[in-house]
Chains A and B, each alone.
With several copies, the nearest count.
Chain A
Amino acid sequence: MADTIKIDVEFTGGLELLFSNQRNHKVSLPAQDQDGKAANIAFLIKHLCENLMTDQKRELFLLDESVRPGILVLINDADWELEGEDQYELQPRDQIVFVSTLHGG
């Protein structure tokens, strides 16, 4: 039986509307992808799209296999660009937040 890794995922800035209108999710995902590589953020994004997303409009979350422009990914309260972007390898209990930028005023 494959190992799983448990992390906390949060959607905010309106993205929660694509995920059952729920902000906080406890997510269990395989510790390795199909090629035996450790689960990273790219793998998580695919996993979320296939298993957690309830809205059909994937283009509001995904573009070219990664998150669309205007979404910030936060790894334990830091911009993912500080942590290796989608190649960051997930650790148990990581907090991953997907934030859609707001433009209103």
Chain B
Amino acid sequence: QAPQRFGLSNADFKRYGRQLIMPQVGLHGQLRLKAARVLIVGAGGLGCPAAAYLAGAGVGTLGLVDGDTVEESNLHRQIAHSTDRIGMFKVDSALTNLRGLNPNLNYIPHRAHLTPTTALDIFSNYDLVLDCTDHPTSRYLISDACVLSGKPLVSASALRTEGQLIVLNNPPRAPGASEGGPCYRCVFPRPPPAESVVSCGEGGILGPVVGVMGLLQALETLKLITASPDAAAPPPSLLLFSAYSTPQFRNVKLRSRRADCASCSANHTVTESSLTSGSMDYIAFCGVTSPIDI
């Protein structure tokens, strides 16, 4: 093993020097990054850039969840994949790219879509989760699983020329603890009507728009991990991005936890057993008529 100073190798000091020297990161922050276990759900337009910059920054353990394979129509925006990896699992394609960038990390592939029965088991091995998926069903599932397993959630979405970003369940407190950050159900207690949900396949998406949102997820993740453990969480907010508007970015104050939230309140009806038993039917909840992958 290479000799270590203050818990980092000489190669680490060289590789991470440009971020280490900043007071916002420092040696403590770099060691927190090295110890951190981050799960990225979705290796698409958001997950690809988020994963690349988190790997670059030296997040010690990086897990990727996705059951899809790479298609040609992904490549205009999913820049961790490549033309000769079309047909490969997205998770494996992305890990090929990430290992090339930074071979010193522990990468964990999860080659299947997240389901209610597997989510808690997978989440238990991580400290923080990024929602880089593309459907309301997975967004409610990931938020519920983050509340039940006590993980902060960095959630983003994008469509056409616009994007949205929220940090949820931060700080991550048990259901009923009012000082915890709001969850996805606090902000959106009821799912949108299925006919109002537009996918990137239907509506289109501009590559740099979803890319910016993925990078902003990576940034908020780095800020959360490197912050001092007793730093206060910022008040809940939503960042809106609109590529063709002036101004392009808008920051909006959000509510705190909802006293009657189905997931994070004292009277929560979403429980560990409702997930693992399969009694929580996210597809029925979101009113999707034909079964879809989440």
Contact = CB atoms under 8 A, between A and B. Distances in A.
Verify that A and B bind, or say they do not.
yes
Interface of A: 12-14, 23, 59-60, 63, 68-72, 74, 77-79, 81-82, 97, 99-105
Contact of B47 (A68, A72, A97, A105): A105
B101 interface: no
A103 B157 contact: yes
B136 interface: yes
A26 B139 CA distance: 34
A38 B113 CA distance: 50
A105 B157 contact: yes
Contacts of A60: 193, 195-196
B267 interface: no
Given A72-B238, A101-B164, A104-B45, 8 more contacts: A12-B240, A59-B193, A70-B192, A82-B254, A102-B158, A103-B135, A103-B136, A105-B158
B205 interface: yes
Contacts of A103: 134-136, 139, 157, 159, 192, 197-199
A77 to B, nearest CB: 5
Interface stretch (B2-10, B224-232, B244-252, B271-279): B244-252
Contacts of B42: 105
Interface of B: 42, 44-47, 132-136, 139, 156-160, 162-164, 187-193, 195-200, 203, 205, 210, 238, 240, 242, 245, 250-255
Nearest to A12: B242
Given A82-B255, A103-B136, A104-B205, A14 B192 contact: no
A95 B182 CA distance: 25
Please indicate which of the listed interface residues A23, A60, A104, A105 has the most CB atoms of chain B within 10 Å of its own CB: A105
Nearest to A81: B255
Nearest to B155: A105
A70 B245 contact: no
A59 B192 CA distance: 11
Nearest to B197: A103
Contacts of B196: 60, 68, 70, 100
Contacts of B189: 69
A104 B240 contact: no
Closest 10 CB pairs of A and B: A70-B192, A69-B190, A104-B200, A104-B159, A105-B134, A102-B157, A78-B253, A105-B46, A102-B159, A81-B255
A14 B160 CA distance: 9
A78 B270 CA distance: 28
A47 to B, nearest CB: 22
Contact of B193 (A70, A81, A104): A70
Given A101-B188, A102-B162, A105-B45, A23 B245 contact: yes
Contacts of A68: 192-193, 196
Please indicate which of the listed interface residues A12, A63, A71 has the most CB atoms of chain B within 10 Å of its own CB: A12
Nearest to A78: B253
A32 to B, nearest CB: 29
A73 B192 CA distance: 14
Contacts of B160: 14
Please indicate which of the listed interface residues A23, A60, A72, A82 has the most CB atoms of chain B within 10 Å of its own CB: A72
Contacts of A79: 187, 238, 252-255
Contacts of B162: 12-14, 102
A105 B240 contact: no
Contacts of B44: 105
Contacts of A23: 242, 245
A102 to B, nearest CB: 4
Please indicate which of the listed interface residues B42, B133, B197 has the most CB atoms of chain A within 10 Å of its own CB: B197
A77 B210 contact: no
Contacts of A14: 159-160, 162, 198, 203
